[in-house]
Amino acid sequence: MSITNDLYKKMVSFYNGDPEHIQHFVKVHSFARLIGEEEGLDEKTQFILETAALVHDIGIKPSMEKYGSSAGKYQEKEGPAYAKEMLEELGYESDVVERVCYLVGHHHTYTDIDGLDYQILVEADFLVNYFENGNSTDNIKLSVEKIFRTDAGKAIAKEMFFPDPAPFVMSDTWAQDALQDLEDFIEEQGIYIRQ
């Protein structure tokens, strides 16, 4: 069993009875893993990214308890201490804990993004939030243009939310095919046409 799986299970327990937040971090982790691998992150950076993706919203529960709000600024304020405690309990190395806590404490800050792990975490979170929040296509396009930097993240956003329409391809026998489809339909409906 890997330490990542242990963290995954610990986060499911942390959000016990809250499938919405469990589903959220699972999806963010999946997108972060994919984008990180597609962008060719080194092994350690990939590990930090995936760890941060699992705990990125750990500050929601304490923010709700303390402030009655899960606003990003509160998550960034409360989340790092909870992430640190959980990661240290599981035996994560101190440099990994430090970087993950930094990412948890900044994942709603979209200026001065320092590092590909940070950039990808932000993109993965946006990809999930666009869908969960029901953002309009125009708003999604605008924020992808402003925030996304990775080719993989941009490609996923484009294919999910504003794909190119499939080209219409007409076969050489389109007229005969259409006539045959019509004849088949008429026969299936039991319609008889006098000739």
Give tens-digit pLDDT for 29-81: 999 999 999 999 999 999 999 999 999 999 999 999 989 988 989 899 999 99
Rounded Cα gap, residues 56 and 10, in angstroms: 13
What is the spatial distance between Cα 179 and Cα 185, in angstroms, rounded to a whole number?
Answer: 10
Q: Phi, psi at residue 121, to the nearest 5°? A: -60, -45
Spatial distance between the Cα atoms of 152 and 45, rounded to a whole number of angstroms: 16
Tell me which DSSP letter residue 113 carries: -
Q: Are 94 and 86 in contact (CB under 8 A)?
A: no
pLDDT category at 195 given cuts 50, 70, 90 is low
How far apart CA 57 and CA 80 sit, in angstroms, is 10
Q: What pLDDT score does 20 carry?
A: 95
